[in-house]
Amino acid sequence: MGTGVMDIADWRKEIDELDRKLVELLNQRARAAHEIGKLKRNTRMPIYEPDREKIIHDNVRRLNQGPLGERDITQIFERIIDIMRQIQKEEIAPKAEAAAAHGTEFDLELND
């Protein structure tokens, strides 16, 4: 690599390292979303907060300097937010669903 020009193998190593960092950051974000889910459960806040999601989208569009376009960065973050919302649902739902499921099974047994 004395010429200073990166070949495809060098670029792939760069992508592998960036992917490693992305995975680490996404998992940090997921941990934060999980903790927010706990707080929402304890305060009975809704999982879906469109105003907050709008702020996130506005922030990432403002921060984006390309080469990803506005539509691309928005789609990526829409998917990230969907997944994070699901993490919060799983934090809240198992407790509620477990209680409801037991009641339903019990009701079915009584009706048999």
Q: In CATH, what number is assigned to the domain containing residue 101?
A: 1.20.59.10
Q: Is residue 58 in a domain?
A: yes
pTM of the model: 0.75
Q: Establish if 30 belongs to a structural domain.
A: yes
Rounded to the nearest 5°, which phi and psi values hold at 79?
-70, -45
Q: What is the per-residue pLDDT for 104?
A: 47
Residue 79 lies in a domain: yes
Interval 36-73: pLDDT, tens: 999 998 998 999 999 999 999 999 999 999 999 999 99
Residue 100 tokens read as: 């409801």
Tokens of 55: 């702020």
Contact 83, 32 (CB under 8 A): no
In a domain, 94, yes or no: yes
Q: Show the tokens assigned to 105.
A: 């099974």
Give residue 76's pLDDT.
98
Phi, psi of 19 (to 5 degrees): -60, -40
Number of domains present in the structure of the chain: 1
Which amino acid would we find at residue 53? E
Decide: helix, strand or coil at residue 93. helix
